[in-house]
Amino acid sequence: MRPLLQLALATQVAALGPLWPLPQRVVPGSGSVLLNPATYRFEAITTPAELLKAFKRYRPLFFPRTSTPLPAAVDAGLVVNVRDDQADLALGVNESYNLDVNIDGTAVITAETVWGALRGLETLSQLIVFNFTTGQYSISGLPLHIEDAPRFPHRGLLIDSGRHFEPVAQVKALLDSMQYAKFNVLHWHLTEDQSFPIASRSFPELPQHGAYSDQEQYTWQDISEVVQYARDRGIRVIPEFDMPGHSSSWRNSHPEIFAEGCLSETSRGAFDPANRATFAFLLAALKDWTSGMFVDGFVHLGSDEVPSDCWNNTKDLAWMRSQGLANFTEVFDYFVNQMVLMAKKLGKQTILWDEAFMSAKPPKEAVIQNWHDSKLMQQIVNAGYRALLSNGWYLDHLKTTWESMYAMDPQFNISQDKAHLVLGGEGCMWGETVDPSDMESTIWPRAAAIAERLWSSAGANSTEEAEPRLLAFRPTGPLASWGGLIGLRVP
């Protein structure tokens, strides 16, 4: 969108209220109406389960405070029309919606899928305003027409339960706040050098010996509940099992699949590619998790910061010679390709950190997540890979401002013929320095900047225009938790 048109859109939205992220097209009128919360109706032409659940969630979000309506308050309601109520939640699913609010306050959301309808519900919830002086709810800019759709199909947030355990209640609270900003992927970094908190039916000894404690583990039911909780909010859960490095906690129960060069407790370990049992073990573990626990079509298999010196031992050096592998970079390439092959056998596509691009040659179906220099994005897509941007969006970097995060564009310097390979990006909340007491207050408000850059048009890039909306969004959206203010917008 051209700058002048973008400025005009921002001006129109500012008159309506703190819409975040900025919709693609808004056509407002000049009327307003008082709403009667007691008689407000939620109706659906088709009734997918996710939509009916959303109606129950959003009624208290539309009307969070007790109100005694004035006689002028109208008996209005919302009708939602979902054209395809069978569309699955997956990469690239249609999340577009149209929202129309008539002069009498009645609203209609039209969406191709229930996932688009959920985004429309969130936008409508931001338009309903409570007046503390009069005690009345109202909606302005009527008649109002909004056409909206995400710029990118993958809009994610990473959390790290391997370094600091995050209880299920905390993860669910984060999912609630993610839906307000229209994120649609929770990237769950579950295993690390430090701990192994996730249940395994195939190898129950992994969390028994790898978790921080008996109380810092996720049961099978815990994970399944989180995946369903996320799905109800239109959020995919992509697990990350980092390998061959960042895996020392697996070694506590299974040292036999680790390279002999790093078996001491004080060293970072790496899986041993010379041992055939290594890949059989990993395949069995992944099959267990991906066959019933994690239902998304993608799995993240890490590949970053590998301590390749672990392979500098007699056994692995002899295996390298037998395989014609000249150096540890070639060993890494071998392991990466085996990882992608494993995922493919399980019907999953693989996401890898950008070391897999810089130091290996994975199959082109792999997705590369860029966390090093953002200039790599251009190289990744020019090589034919799909890409995700995380460089510049590390939320554990506390000195990085929301303004600098807002300035990032995943398609910067990407040619038009390669732009489709940029799937979007993720903010990353690594767990070294956060725990349940401060995770959300560290994530927000900066994650909102990331969310808008992934949803709104490329022209929505002015921090000067965005700041008033961001500040206004804060008291009612997920940013209400930032700094302990007001409390989460969760009933």
Residue 341 CB: number of other CB atoms within 10 A?
A: 14
Residue 348 CB: number of other CB atoms within 10 A?
A: 20
For residue 21, say if its preceding peptide bond is cis, omega within 30 degrees of 0.
yes
- Strand ranges (E), 153-211: 154-160, 185-191
Q: Give the integer Cα–Cα distance in Å for 466 and 480.
A: 17
For residue 436, say if its preceding peptide bond is cis, omega within 30 degrees of 0.
no
Dig out the tokens for 250 from the structure: 């697996």
What residues pair up with 109 in beta bridges, in sequence order? Answer: 80, 99
b/e per residue, 28-51, with b = 16+ CB within 10 A?
A: beebebbbbbeebebebeeebebb
Dig out the tokens for 182 from the structure: 């229209």
413 conformational bin, left if phi > 0, alpha if psi -120 to 50, beta if neither: left
Task: Please name the residue that has the structure tokens 């041993």.
Answer: 272
Q: Give the integer Cα–Cα distance in Å for 183 and 179.
A: 6
Residue 350 φ/ψ, nearest 5 degrees: -115, 140
Dig out the tokens for 64 from the structure: 């969070």
Q: Give the integer Cα–Cα distance in Å for 438 and 442.
A: 6
Active site residues: 305
Distances (CA, A) of 396 to 408, 428, 430, 434: 17, 7, 6, 8
Beta strand pairing call for 236-243 and 185-191: parallel
DSSP-derived secondary structure letter, 74: B
Calculate the CA dihedral of residues 128, 58, 113, 347 and round it to 10 degrees: 140
